[in-house]
Structure 1
């Protein structure tokens, strides 16, 4: 489009506009009240009715100066002047053309300016036609969306053929900010004006669409609320005509049908109907009605008579338990026994088992497998940190927001009265001023009492006798004795290396490979590498850390497959460091050297067995006995008992009778940062003290465990299986154990037991004869 511009120089009065802009071809009326502006109007009537209208930069300024007004405005013609009451004049003007101030020739008593009047003329071409069409389309959309402009305006505007004029007319109709209007006024080129206006109108269309969307959404909400209100009022009127106030009778009848349909015990049904009668009398708007409704809902949601049918197929149960867990022989056998007896006596009460063992050996997961094998619902309740008796029994419904305890809640979620109910971490319960939850558990876990378990909220007897309760714990010592007496203890000991190897190869590795999006052929871990992972990168009785280590290998293998385009990764002892880094643990492999005052003991921890070297040094002194290595009170007492035994038997032991006056003994158990306690290191400390005092070495290929008494008797200890495994790992083949632990030798896996030589000792003399080497 070829654009031409006609420029004329004119002198005329100026009138500043506040918050207004006028475009060429636009007719506008406004009120004038400032004295200076009125004088400008009077002068313009003399000057061919022409006046220069320009906007103020700040509408709040009453007496603008040159810097307060824009330099581009509109030459306009005054069409009509009407005097209003109060010295105000209403003016009707028509915009003629754009103009730019050259100079303000007069400031008082009114503004007079020299301006360059710019009248644009243009020759239309394809580009200008396209711009005009797009602008017209947008303006039509704007008129439809705004609902504030008459549709006839569109017809009027569409008849305009000049680009600049079309832009000016449309600008006068759409909502624009003052700065945007001024920007359009200052666009002297028609093409530039069309482009800028098109951008502005597009933005305004977006705003209008969002406004309409919000408006429709709000209207829908209002309409819905009005509709609901109208329907409620209608319903009230209908119910009043029928004599059914507020629909109460319909709800009461619904509850009554549910109560009749549910197979509730007699006492429960009577209580439910009694509460329903109270609800009917007090009305739905009463504050108490909500409490009664909630109570009735709880009664109706509980499985008072619903049971799942047990799957008593013993072969199927064996297959499920074996496929999902390796080892755990005692637990599996106990479940099979239960199934066999249930098959013979269907009225048998559910057993209450307690699985005791270290973390990560599969206590919780095997309970899920038991539920699957029995075809029962499974409910788990963690008791770790529970310290409020109301957690078990619930709160009385007189309290605001009262709910039943977690036992009843669990039964509701189970949906049957004979689920497998797991109480996890029963040894982690504690108590405070709100009561002892362990006391509340006494009724739950007593087969003679739990058929009438009463929750404080329900205040009704609920039969828990058909529930199979299984509890788990890491340590039986912290379980209250009355509670422990109600449970059948099954010890789930830690896994041997062979068992861990089988679990890793058959269960953990396939599971991790699948979870990491790989196939079995993508990753191969050799048996030797797997043994190194078990021994050098984990130290636990269970397999949780082992599974995490395998997950680490899978992640690194997946990265290598993606980055290096490999199809398979093989892990062996040589490249294992690349996947898992430097080995984290080193088992204390015995040096098998005979040393004076150094004896290898055996210890049990929550993470399995371990070797426990004990060192004794003798120095000149006055009989002081020093104990270091973070020893607990029981271990210190064992050391003192052994010290007293040695003092009483110096003749037999060939030790200086006056050693307790002339020498100081220092007993140290290495790894001083790790707390140690228990009586089973008694024989170890006595042997080390005798060796140091007699200056005779102790056999380095022997390890020992046992509690010592003042008379030299060796008392039994616990955790023999774990201790035997620790001795084997350390390369020790001979173990001295108390004679009363002979029965526990059969619990040690055959492959370990055959490689160990057990020496049974009932007295410390037997221990010393088999360990102290005479010089």
Structure 2
């Protein structure tokens, strides 16, 4: 219900404030237009229209920035304050709605229509008034913003419209909510809306009160603990124990905060520290808890080094530290390039496989140095207990974490290069299978949540670059091998050994033995003789020992003042080291009947294997000696059976079995030997012995034989070729299916050897046996 239109009443926009009818309050007015509007009002009939701004931060509001419903008020008093603002006392008269706003230069004027209250059911209004007062009373009890005196004043109001306005004016609600109440002409609707608002405000206040009480209790508990700790310190000081357990606890608490653990681990550490604080120091449990906390704080949880994935830089360092190994270096550089592009270390675990002394461990160290990561190494040789990997549970006396966690502690970062040395030497027994425990460590999909029995909480190994080393793949369990990418390191040629000795080993030994380059000089021919006649190995470990021996003897000569400088020549080498330990040149000095040279592949690299056959009167027995394995015995049986079946074609007496016994021996009888690749060598030695045709001294061979005489492929051709080159052989007979492996053999070795691929034993005999016959 509305009244008639009133025109040209001064408009005063309010910021963050709203005035209801019957309200009396002071306003501070500072804006020029607002002051002009007040002065105009006082010149007329002291009435002004008060309307709130929609946004507080607008200094020059337009008509769109002002709510369309406000309150007509009378100006009771206006006083100018010393700071330049005007303090005005106003009293709200009635609601009004804006029809039009005139924006004058000096102030705003509005055309308004008075809004009348709309009443419906008086009984309902009475009931709503009582409910409102009841709700307001409860609100006053939980609120500190409204006093009891205010409630007493409000409760005396009989008019429902006036009551609603007075209650709303005392509520700390948003201006837009107060505005919506002001705009309601229907008193019943206004009361209902207000009751709902008070109910919500009361619920919020009760929640705030609960939170406040909880915070207060926590503060009281903290203050109480602080007070008790201070008392404990005072008592310990009086007893002469200045630090006591509290000092220890304080140190541990500080370490926990500095460790930057994951939240769940830090919570467990704090909990264990609380237990440690309460447990008597004499208790056995006290040392167990302390040991556990110290392990937690000593582990790297977030510290990491910044990777240097510059492939050029890495290549430079690898070339500085290692000569040769081109394919290995190339694979490592590819690996680093992929990491640079993907920014992720997840991927295959590298496994360096090769004989002892070829530089597997030092290569892993170089990788760590090349990419600017800490290096840590653990040896897995001889480990039988699964707890060595996963750790022991804390319930055991002397429990410790496993070697993986111990290694991470030594690494001090979460992203080291972690070398797992001798991964093929792990064993298993009733205490568990450590190789199975390693599956979780080396699986990129699992190792982000590696679980150690001692630590109990998950530890993230996903940023670690794992590198494993092994002498042979055959003893690595299949599931473990499946998680690794194998990089084979076969061994070094003579040329490579010469470079390694000159550029790496000799300077290192000269320095370690207190010499200078001027005091000891090594001629190249002496170095070559040392490599050929004093060492026979795939790697360079024994070569380094011999060089160290020469350096020590040279140091003795220099110290005893015999010479100021030692020059090692071929002749001088024998004086220093004695007679050569190995014969360099042909494996056999002349063609032999019944003796063939095979090529073997062992954990120590490639080697030559002489197979001897002796025939003497007997009843057809086949004797095998030389500590042969089952596979090698079967190869001998297969070769024997083939020769018997093809006796006529091979120009052998078919009845040789009835009148002769045959003895096959592989020298170095104390060394175990096994594998299928000696099949054609045994067959060749047998045919040579039975026909009297000698085997060419310069020929070596490798290949598996079938009962039909087919030659099957073998493994380790690169290692076997290196051993043949070292032994001085010039021709190697290989299975034709192994031709594809020739490109892996160093060029210097390929140039010194003639490779003859064969498919059948007949081809082997044609190439291996000399043309002339000897009486046998």
Question: TM above 0.5, one fold?
Answer: yes
Partner of 1:268: 265
The structure-2 alpha-carbon separation of the partners of 1:742 and 1:524, relative to structure 1 and needing over 3 Å to count, comes to: same
> Is 1:546 the equivalent of 2:543?
yes
The structure-2 alpha-carbon separation of the partners of 1:727 and 1:258, relative to structure 1 and needing over 3 Å to count, comes to: closer
Choose which of 697, 701, 722 in structure 1 pairs with 2:694.
697
The structure-2 alpha-carbon separation of the partners of 1:363 and 1:461, relative to structure 1 and needing over 3 Å to count, comes to: same
Partner of 2:349: 352
Partner of 2:303: 306
The structure-2 alpha-carbon separation of the partners of 1:246 and 1:381, relative to structure 1 and needing over 3 Å to count, comes to: closer
Output the CA distance in 2 between the equivalents of 1:307 and 1:233: 38
The superposition leaves residues 19-68 of structure 1 with CA deviations (integer Å, 9 ceiling, x where unpaired) of xxxxxxxxxxxxxxxxxxxxxxxxxxxxxxxxxxxxxxxxxxxxxxxxxx
Output the CA distance in 2 between the equivalents of 1:284 and 1:672: 63
The superposition leaves residues 634-656 of structure 1 with CA deviations (integer Å, 9 ceiling, x where unpaired) of 22221111001112222332322
> Is 1:720 the equivalent of 2:714?
no
The superposition leaves residues 415-442 of structure 1 with CA deviations (integer Å, 9 ceiling, x where unpaired) of 1111111111112222233222112111
Output the CA distance in 2 between the equivalents of 1:636 and 1:240: 82
Partner of 1:518: 515
The structure-2 alpha-carbon separation of the partners of 1:252 and 1:654, relative to structure 1 and needing over 3 Å to count, comes to: same
Partner of 1:572: 569
1:351–1:469 contact (8 Å) kept in structure 2: no
Output the CA distance in 2 between the equivalents of 1:663 and 1:239: 97
2:315–2:333 contact (8 Å) kept in structure 1: yes
What does 1:668-683 align with in structure 2 at a 5 Å threshold?
Answer: 668-683=665-680
Choose which of 610, 616, 619 in structure 2 pairs with 1:619.
616
Partner of 1:361: 358
| Higher mean C-alpha deviation, range 690-699 or range 510-519 | 690-699
Output the CA distance in 1 between the equivalents of 2:637 and 2:718: 28
2:585–2:729 contact (8 Å) kept in structure 1: no
State the SS of the aligned residue for 1:477: coil
What does 1:13-32 align with in structure 2 at a 5 Å threshold?
Answer: none
The superposition leaves residues 365-387 of structure 1 with CA deviations (integer Å, 9 ceiling, x where unpaired) of 12111111111111111112222
1:600–1:684 contact (8 Å) kept in structure 2: yes
Q: Structure 1 residue 658: deviation in Å? A: 2.3
1:248–1:283 contact (8 Å) kept in structure 2: no
> Is 1:532 the equivalent of 2:500?
no
> Is 1:737 the equivalent of 2:734?
yes
State the SS of the aligned residue for 1:651: coil
The structure-2 alpha-carbon separation of the partners of 1:255 and 1:552, relative to structure 1 and needing over 3 Å to count, comes to: closer
State the SS of the aligned residue for 2:444: coil
> Is 1:629 the equivalent of 2:631?
no
Partner of 2:419: 422
What does 1:286-685 align with in structure 2 at a 5 Å threshold?
Answer: 286-349=283-346, 351-587=348-584, 589-591=586-588, 593-685=590-682
1:350–1:468 contact (8 Å) kept in structure 2: no
The structure-2 alpha-carbon separation of the partners of 1:626 and 1:416, relative to structure 1 and needing over 3 Å to count, comes to: same
State the SS of the aligned residue for 2:518: helix
1:588–1:611 contact (8 Å) kept in structure 2: no
The structure-2 alpha-carbon separation of the partners of 1:287 and 1:518, relative to structure 1 and needing over 3 Å to count, comes to: closer
1:350–1:466 contact (8 Å) kept in structure 2: no
Instruction: Give aligned pairs, total.
Output: 542
Choose which of 755, 758, 762 in structure 2 pairs with 1:761.
758
> Is 1:707 the equivalent of 2:717?
no
2:636–2:682 contact (8 Å) kept in structure 1: yes
Q: What is the Cα-based RMSD across aligned positions, in Å?
A: 2.7
1:596–1:692 contact (8 Å) kept in structure 2: yes
Q: Structure 1 residue 519: deviation in Å? A: 1.4
State the SS of the aligned residue for 2:368: helix
1:350–1:467 contact (8 Å) kept in structure 2: no
The structure-2 alpha-carbon separation of the partners of 1:261 and 1:751, relative to structure 1 and needing over 3 Å to count, comes to: closer
The structure-2 alpha-carbon separation of the partners of 1:620 and 1:579, relative to structure 1 and needing over 3 Å to count, comes to: same
Q: Structure 1 residue 591: deviation in Å? A: 4.7
TM-score normalized by structure 1? 0.66
The structure-2 alpha-carbon separation of the partners of 1:686 and 1:267, relative to structure 1 and needing over 3 Å to count, comes to: same
The structure-2 alpha-carbon separation of the partners of 1:248 and 1:678, relative to structure 1 and needing over 3 Å to count, comes to: closer
Output the CA distance in 2 between the equivalents of 1:696 and 1:717: 27
The superposition leaves residues 5-26 of structure 1 with CA deviations (integer Å, 9 ceiling, x where unpaired) of xxxxxxxxxxxxxxxxxxxxxx
Partner of 2:176: none
1:682–1:707 contact (8 Å) kept in structure 2: yes
1:590–1:732 contact (8 Å) kept in structure 2: yes
2:536–2:726 contact (8 Å) kept in structure 1: no
1:516–1:554 contact (8 Å) kept in structure 2: yes
What does 1:173-188 align with in structure 2 at a 5 Å threshold?
Answer: none
The structure-2 alpha-carbon separation of the partners of 1:390 and 1:751, relative to structure 1 and needing over 3 Å to count, comes to: same
The superposition leaves residues 244-282 of structure 1 with CA deviations (integer Å, 9 ceiling, x where unpaired) of 999766665654454444322232123223323434555
State the SS of the aligned residue for 1:627: strand
Q: Structure 1 residue 601: deviation in Å? A: 2.1
State the SS of the aligned residue for 1:665: strand
The structure-2 alpha-carbon separation of the partners of 1:247 and 1:597, relative to structure 1 and needing over 3 Å to count, comes to: closer
The structure-2 alpha-carbon separation of the partners of 1:721 and 1:250, relative to structure 1 and needing over 3 Å to count, comes to: closer
Partner of 1:117: none
The superposition leaves residues 439-472 of structure 1 with CA deviations (integer Å, 9 ceiling, x where unpaired) of 2111111111110001111110000011011111
1:728–1:752 contact (8 Å) kept in structure 2: yes
1:556–1:579 contact (8 Å) kept in structure 2: yes
| Higher mean C-alpha deviation, range 340-349 or range 616-625 | 616-625
2:594–2:612 contact (8 Å) kept in structure 1: yes
| Higher mean C-alpha deviation, range 600-609 or range 297-306 | 600-609
Q: Structure 1 residue 723: deviation in Å? A: 2.4
Q: Structure 1 residue 594: deviation in Å? A: 4.0
2:713–2:737 contact (8 Å) kept in structure 1: yes
The structure-2 alpha-carbon separation of the partners of 1:273 and 1:343, relative to structure 1 and needing over 3 Å to count, comes to: same
Q: Structure 1 residue 672: deviation in Å? A: 3.8
TM-score normalized by structure 2? 0.66
Q: Structure 1 residue 484: deviation in Å? A: 1.5
Output the CA distance in 1 between the equivalents of 2:374 and 2:665: 53
State the SS of the aligned residue for 1:338: helix
2:345–2:464 contact (8 Å) kept in structure 1: no
Output the CA distance in 2 between the equivalents of 1:572 and 1:305: 56
The structure-2 alpha-carbon separation of the partners of 1:663 and 1:490, relative to structure 1 and needing over 3 Å to count, comes to: same
State the SS of the aligned residue for 1:575: helix
The structure-2 alpha-carbon separation of the partners of 1:509 and 1:619, relative to structure 1 and needing over 3 Å to count, comes to: same
The structure-2 alpha-carbon separation of the partners of 1:236 and 1:639, relative to structure 1 and needing over 3 Å to count, comes to: same
Output the CA distance in 2 between the equivalents of 1:237 and 1:585: 79
Q: Structure 1 residue 499: deviation in Å? A: 1.0
1:635–1:676 contact (8 Å) kept in structure 2: yes
Output the CA distance in 2 between the equivalents of 1:587 and 1:251: 68
Q: List gaps (5 residues or longer) in structure 1.
A: 1-231
